């Protein structure tokens, strides 16, 4: 964590990251007035409407019928201009991963650098006219709801889980009722943290946009799936196992408990080999959430970079990418966009700082050809980007 545990943070209303994590994180909500005033009018409704029409964007248009607002429809990407004609009174546009198209918005993730990078999901923008909503619902992930434009009324209710009853025959997972214990209107710059499982209901008081900084944990099924891919790609695991020691015959149709325990034990033994599983999990956590948002870079050579050394450029993480590291036996290991990375030792500290959210000056320290080749590779893979000097 780049910020001190004991430093009061404006984004948390003057409490420390340590206090927030111990008292609020995944436990209870937190309302902070003017937590992020710089987000106000960062994007305007037209910006989001136009972005929703782009081919690679993941967006949803949610509508409630005028004659019966309890009936909902959802249209997912691709969206076209015609989808926004003859709209009902109550509708909402959700656009995912908007930070990949707004560098200023991506930079605001640094306000939450007390949460690991791999926990970030994306920044979703919810735009709605007065009365627009996505209904009473809950999520399985943490979210910081930040008002960017207009006003939205938020109500919070009971804790829910996978067994909670849902409204039947609707395209959204909606709650039939909420036990409201929180009712506040957020203005631009205000923040509301909502932990996983807490029922919430947001309704636009006027034309408004809310930025949802979502933080999601991976599910066990995805990790097991990645590890099974690792098994499949390894020749060691593709050969038949040796049989158990057999001393007495068994019935032809029976699989004995001893045989099941042997096969299960072998698989569990492989799972317990931490170095293999650690690498699989780290690579999985470093995968880009929206790889289709990664820019198509110009193919660079080390020689192309020589002329811009010490001219004011900075190296930083490409907003649509992920770059993670861990320390193993005193050695730094890196993963970027789902792949293990091998870089020159002189680059490790720089890469760690970039993974931690710090821009690094592209200066004379990078004069060696080996370092320039590594940097060119990371730029060509869209893991890093070069920020030109301010004019």
- Does the structure show a pLDDT above 80 at 87? yes
Cα 312 to Cα 154: distance, rounded to the nearest angstrom:
44
Q: Are residues 15 and 124 in the same domain?
A: yes
CA dist 166 to 72, 162, 300, Å? 14, 10, 52
In the predicted model, what is the mean pLDDT of residues 178-193? 98
- Per-residue pLDDT band at 3 (split at 50, 70, 90): very low
Handedness of CA 334, 336, 342, 346 (dihedral sign): negative
Q: Is there a single domain that holds both residue 153 and residue 21?
A: yes
Residue found by looking up tokens 């209710």 in the block? 157
Is residue 190 domain-shared with residue 320, that is, in the same domain? no
Token duo for residue 209: 């946009």
User: Is the per-residue pLDDT at 1 higher than 80?
Assistant: no
Q: Model confidence over 216-231: pLDDT tens digits?
A: 999 999 998 988 888 8
Would you say residue 330 lies in a domain?
yes
Whether residue 1 is contained in a domain is answered as no
CATH code of residue 12 = 2.60.120.650
Contact 189, 10 (CB under 8 A): no
pLDDT at 277: 84
- Full strand arrangement of the beta sheet holding 152-159: 182-186, 152-159, 198-204
pLDDT at 7: 92
Out of 200, 215, 230, a domain closes at 215
Domain boundaries, position 348: 292-387
Q: Tell me the whole-structure pTM to 2 decimals.
A: 0.92
**pLDDT at res. 93:** 98
DSSP assigned state of 312 = T
How deeply is 357 buried, as exposed, middle or buried, from its count of CB atoms within 10 A (0-12, 13-18, 19+)? middle
For residues 233 and 166, membership in a common domain is answered with no
Percent of the chain at pLDDT exceeding 70: 98
Flag whether 287 is in a domain: no
244 and 313 in a common domain: no
User: Nearest to residue 133, comparing CAs of 49, 64, 77?
Assistant: 64
Is residue 233 pLDDT above 70, yes or no? yes
Q: Which tens digit of pLDDT belongs to each residue from 292-339?
A: 999 988 889 999 999 899 999 999 999 999 999 998 888 899 999 999
């Amino acid at each position: 964590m780049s910020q001190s545990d004991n430093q009061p943070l404006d984004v948390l209303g003057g409490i420390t990251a340590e206090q927030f994590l111990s008292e609020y994180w995944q436990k209870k909500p937190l309302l902070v007035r003017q937590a992020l005033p710089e987000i106000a009018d960062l994007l305007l409704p037209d910006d989001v409407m136009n972005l929703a029409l782009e081919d690679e964007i993941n967006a949803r248009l949610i509508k409630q019928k005028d004659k019966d607002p309890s009936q909902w429809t959802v249209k997912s990407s691709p969206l076209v201009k015609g989808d926004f004609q003859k709209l009902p009174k109550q509708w909402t546009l959700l656009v995912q991963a908007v930070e990949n198209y707004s560098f200023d918005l991506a930079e605001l993730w640094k306000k939450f650098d007390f949460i690991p990078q791999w926990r970030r999901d994306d920044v979703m923008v919810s735009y709605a006219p007065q009365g627009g909503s996505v209904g009473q619902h809950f999520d399985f992930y943490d979210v910081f709801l930040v008002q960017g434009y207009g006003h939205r009324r938020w109500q919070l209710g009971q804790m829910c889980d996978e067994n909670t009853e849902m409204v039947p025959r609707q395209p959204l997972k909606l709650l039939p009722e909420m036990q409201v214990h929180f009712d506040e209107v957020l203005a631009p710059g205000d923040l509301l943290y909502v932990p996983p499982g807490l029922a919430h209901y947001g309704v636009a008081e006027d034309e408004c946009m809310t930025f949802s900084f979502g933080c999601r944990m991976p599910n066990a099924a995805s990790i097991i799936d990645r590890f099974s891919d690792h098994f499949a790609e390894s020749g060691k695991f593709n050969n038949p196992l040796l049989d158990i020691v057999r001393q007495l015959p068994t019935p032809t149709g029976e699989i004995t408990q001893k045989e099941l325990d042997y096969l299960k034990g072998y698989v569990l033994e492989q799972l317990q080999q931490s170095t293999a599983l650690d690498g699989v999990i780290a690579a999985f956590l470093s995968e880009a959430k929206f790889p289709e948002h990664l820019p198509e870079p110009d193919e660079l050579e080390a020689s192309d970079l020589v002329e811009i050394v010490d001219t004011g450029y900075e190296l930083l993480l490409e907003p649509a990418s992920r770059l993670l590291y861990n320390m193993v036996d005193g050695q730094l290991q890196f993963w970027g966009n789902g792949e293990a990375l091998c870089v020159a030792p002189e680059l490790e500290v720089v890469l760690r700082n970039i993974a931690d959210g710090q821009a690094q000056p592209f200066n004379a320290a990078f004069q060696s050809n080996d370092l320039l080749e590594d940097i060119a590779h990371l730029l060509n893979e869209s893991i890093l980007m070069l920020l030109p000097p301010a004019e």
